[in-house]
Structure 1
Amino acid sequence: MRIAVIDYGMGNLRSVQKALEHVAPHAQVTLAHTADAFYESDAVVFPGQGSFADCIAALTAQQLTDAVRWAAANRPFLGICVGLQLLFAHSEEGDVAGLGILPGKVVRFPKNEMFATGHAHLKVPHMGWNTITVTRDHPVLPTSETGKRYYFVHSYVVVPEDDAVTLATCEYGIPFTCAVATGNLIATQFHPEKSGETGLALLSRFVTWAQTFSVSSTQ
């Protein structure tokens, strides 16, 4: 099995690659920086770290935007953190357009929002461990994952136009979408590669799920 980790100079690439190699020792996990590498893959992972504007600029400079759109439509596809956010149409961070694969926007956590206790304002970025609620079943993120803790680092959240794409939610002062899924695509705001055994189990389920797809080597 060939898994392409999109390499556009942004993101925690080596950690993602090593985590995938750990859960899929017989797979070929490569850092992919050309469109051909996506076309030749059996699954694609789209990590991201840093600002939305810098990430979309890096993708554009490497002429990878169309290839990412193609992979999101034609391969088992996992987006992580900014790799989730970039799938949407627009971000407040830098006031820039995203890939437009999913309708919706990316917005900042409200500056004045308070925790449910009412005793403290949010500290942004949202950094550290938090529990999730899975809103519908999925092979990669089943409802049994509700209550599990994953690791987050982000200041912005996605707001899908279509609530049906939301797969899981989290709460940090406000409830927000922390995972989406549609067709062959799934993406998470949290970092599975930083989430210990729970995150590794998610990556293992992604690999198993990806193997169920019939993959063509043609463009």
Structure 2
Amino acid sequence: MIAIIDYGMGNLHSVSKAVERLGWEAEVTSDPAHILGADGVILPGVGAFGDAMRELSESGLADVVRQAAASGKPLLGICLGMQLLFGESEEHGQHEGLGILPGRAMRFAGEYKVPHMGWNRLAFRQDSPLFEGLEEGYVYFVHSYHVKPDDESVLLAVTDYYQPVTAIVGRGRVFGMQFHPEKSGDVGMRLLANFLSLCGTKPQA
């Protein structure tokens, strides 16, 4: 079973349906026992970083996500969920993140349109099991903040939006995707399927 964490700020329905379309059982849950007992965990997110961290902290789910990551369970953060994996964000002030990966979320700064919204091509920076059977292709982004990792070794793929932009991160069995894989056509669904394959679960009959 794949636990999709419900803390009140995620694109839960679309992620759940995508997981089920790929043949895995999905449960949208805020129950710590169900999250820690799952084969894999997805942390979605839509909205403001500070609000999301407040919801996660007040519900006790922040520590549950950290426990899941520390246990070696496959964990995937999507969009805001990816940013939450890092140490901090400057969105509407300074906010502490989950601190699972080193780095911070920063606002795009320049004479160009923000938010960054639309289809952009991935450029793989290193090998990853997420890229099994995949060539570099286009995925769908909607974000005003982007992550600057402190450690380049966590950077798996970038895209270009007037600068190299962090698109996929990973360390061990913790991964993040700045874009929405469930809204990114064949490339996004293959990336999601490759993550699910790391969870050790068999697709449903």
Contact 2:134 2:190 in 1 (8 A): no
Displacement after TM superposition at 1:3 (Å): 0.4
Q: 1:71-110 maps to which residues of 2 (within 5 A)?
A: 71-74=68-71, 75-94=73-92, 95-110=94-109
Contact 1:136 1:143 in 2 (8 A): no
Percent identity of equivalent pairs: 47
In structure 2, C-alpha distance between the alignment counterparts of 1:66 and 1:106, rounded to whole Å: 20
Q: 1:25-174 maps to which residues of 2 (within 5 A)?
A: 27-74=24-71, 75-94=73-92, 95-110=94-109, 112=110, 121-142=111-132, 144-146=134-136, 148-174=137-163
Displacement after TM superposition at 1:145 (Å): 3.1
Displacement after TM superposition at 1:209 (Å): 2.0
Give 5+ residue unaligned stretches, structure 1: 113-120, 213-219
| TM-score, length basis structure 1 | 0.87
In structure 1, C-alpha distance between the alignment counterparts of 2:69 and 2:140, rounded to whole Å: 24
Displacement after TM superposition at 1:6 (Å): 0.6
Contact 1:137 1:143 in 2 (8 A): no
**Larger deviation, residues 27-36 vs 42-51:** 27-36
In structure 2, C-alpha distance between the alignment counterparts of 1:205 and 1:77, rounded to whole Å: 12
Displacement after TM superposition at 1:142 (Å): 4.5
Report Cα offsets for 1:120-174 as digits up to 9, x if no partner.
x31100011100101111111359432x000000000111110001000111011
In structure 1, C-alpha distance between the alignment counterparts of 2:87 and 2:170, rounded to whole Å: 16
* SS class of match (2:65): helix
Displacement after TM superposition at 1:71 (Å): 1.1
Displacement after TM superposition at 1:198 (Å): 1.7
Contact 2:88 2:105 in 1 (8 A): yes
Report Cα offsets for 1:59-83 as digits up to 9, x if no partner.
1121111000011222111110111
* SS class of match (1:99): coil
What amino acid does structure 2 have at the position aligned with 1:11? G
| TM-score, length basis structure 2 | 0.93
How many positions carry a matched residue from both structures? 199
* SS class of match (1:48): coil
Report Cα offsets for 1:169-201 as digits up to 9, x if no partner.
111011121111111111110110111222111
Contact 1:73 1:184 in 2 (8 A): no
